[in-house]
Structure 1
Amino acid sequence: MFGPALQVRGIEKSFKDLHVLQGVDFDVQAGSIFALLGSNGAGKTTLVRILSTLLSPDAGIATVNGFDVATEPKDVRESISLTGQFAAVDEVLTGRENLVLIAKLRHLKHPGTIADELLARFSLTEAGNRKAGTYSGGMRRRLDISMSLIGNPPIIFLDEPTTGLDPQARLEVWQTIKDLANSGTTVLLTTQYLDEAETLADRIAILHKGVIIQNGTLKELKALLPAAEVEYVEKQPSLEDVFLTLVGEDAAAAPDENTDAATAVPAGKESR
């Protein structure tokens, strides 16, 4: 494919007197991870809904995989997959049954084979015949992302994919996102977690009050501030370092349980 996978020019969207997007511009190169960073209410989800043809913009132009979101919505939808903030899995079905169901809905041949390949790819084979309701938060999210990849869409939108996950589950999802990009999938990631954008993204755009106020690589964004003075600092381990050191290996080997987002260990610092 030639040119950017996503092109956004002058996108605006208002809801009555609330101006959510006020002229958004950016490009996303194919096979890269692009992080849209912003606080709650910045307009991230609204923009994703426009790019996935769920909302119409008031002004501006956007193309996805070379197709115009306004005039070629069917082609756009065939080029993308959207994973929202909360895992959209059927908890009564097993993990494998969830995948088979989506493959059948997409009218694909050999849905069982597709399901088995995705279970293996996302390290869910052993849990494939268990009900999704018994999965941990990280496993449910990995299953959700694997369901999004059925049909091999070249572009995937991940709208705050680690919301409510504990530190161990966040790391699992981060690795999954890296693997997607390494396999050639273009990823548009929205997040309010600074460390998530810093860890994953090839480019980061900061969305604030409906406009992109800065867009660049992590190195380019850091260069906007004065160079740091070099001095000796005794670094203390963070709580996340302690938590992962103590439970990292045990958590991976322990039986999976339902994860209650309301009681999950906080997942790092948020930008508020």
Structure 2
Amino acid sequence: MITVDRVTKIFKTKKETIYAAKSFSFEIGKGEVVGLLGENGAGKTTLLRMIATLLEPTEGRISVSGFDTIMQPMEVKKRIGVLFGGETGLYERLTARENLEYFAMLYGMSEHEIKVRIDSLAVKFGMKEYLHRRVGTFSKGMRQKVAIARTLIHDPEVILFDEPTTGLDITSANIFRQLIHQLRGEGKTIIFSSHIMEEVQLLCQSVIMIHKGEMIYHGSLQDLYEEEQSKDLNYIMMSKVVRGA
């Protein structure tokens, strides 16, 4: 479903060359939920942006559902839903419903499909009471709910979430976690970054750990627990960062 083959991303300034990703290689299959772990600046968002076709790798190749992110970006975009932390992508002067309708139309959905999908997502996320209010009046948590709905409006095969529960209250965060379980049951492929280790342990089958642009682990959580002889993911992450491998 997602193949990352020897991918490197370099950012150059006048003073230095920064390796945001150093020769990443991994595959993620259909229906997998993968946690992306690393400190701020490790390269998590850069990796997600390359998969989403928003950045081009300096070296290497990425494919999503068999489509190359550089050669066939429009085919990739049709099949992915993306939500980056702090970037809701919503228009403040439009209502929640108008925002969702707009993005749905960009994906070529029919009026009937749009109505059914919005009504379903509104119930799922508890948004019915403010669907007709302008987004500019919303709290952070309300915006995040609409942003998640926008990400899912076209029923994508692959979903990329960057800190998806940021700004959500406990109830909304739990609804999101239930949604992940449901999406996995539907065969969706999901990558999400999170600093909440309990969330990763609850939702993910496998993890990718990144430190300073280097991938220091990719594999199942169960294999990781056995390898480290611990189920304390916070401890394991810090231990691997210190060891660098």
Q: Same-fold call, TM > 0.5? A: yes
CA contact (8 A) 1:142 1:176 kept: no
Residues 48/226 of structure 1: CA separation in 2 closer, same or farther (3 Å cut): closer
Q: Distance in 2 between matches of 1:65 and 1:174?
A: 24
Residues 173/227 of structure 1: CA separation in 2 closer, same or farther (3 Å cut): closer
Residue in 2 that maps onto 1:9: 5
CA contact (8 A) 1:141 1:173 kept: no
- Structure 1 portions without partners, runs of 5+: 229-269
Q: Distance in 1 between matches of 2:169 and 2:179?
A: 16
Tell which deviates more after alignment, 67-76 or 6-15: 67-76
Shift of 1:178: 2.4
Residue in 1 that maps onto 2:102: 101
- Structure 2 portions without partners, runs of 5+: 232-236
Residue in 2 that maps onto 1:151: 154
Q: Distance in 2 between matches of 1:165 and 1:150?
A: 19
Shift of 1:47: 0.8
Larger Rg: 1
Residues 128/165 of structure 1: CA separation in 2 closer, same or farther (3 Å cut): closer
Q: Distance in 2 between matches of 1:51 and 1:125?
A: 32
Matches within 5 A, 1:19-98: 19-86=19-86, 87-98=88-99
Which amino acid is 2:60 matched to? G
CA contact (8 A) 1:138 1:173 kept: no
Shift of 1:198: 1.3
Shift of 1:166: 4.4
Residue in 2 that maps onto 1:235: none
The superposition leaves residues 79-127 of structure 1 with CA deviations (integer Å, 9 ceiling, x where unpaired) of: 1111110233334433222212222333321133332232233332333
Residues 65/227 of structure 1: CA separation in 2 closer, same or farther (3 Å cut): closer
Q: How many residue pairs are counted as aligned between the two chains?
A: 227
SS, match of residue 157 in structure 1:
strand
Residues 41/172 of structure 1: CA separation in 2 closer, same or farther (3 Å cut): same
Q: Distance in 1 between matches of 2:199 and 2:212?
A: 21
Which amino acid is 1:79 matched to? R
Shift of 1:14: 0.9
Report the identity percentage.
34
SS, match of residue 228 in structure 2:
coil
Matches within 5 A, 1:103-252: 103-110=104-111, 111-226=114-229
CA contact (8 A) 1:30 1:186 kept: yes
Please, what is the CA RMSD of the aligned residues? 2.4
Q: Distance in 1 between matches of 2:230 and 2:98?
A: 53
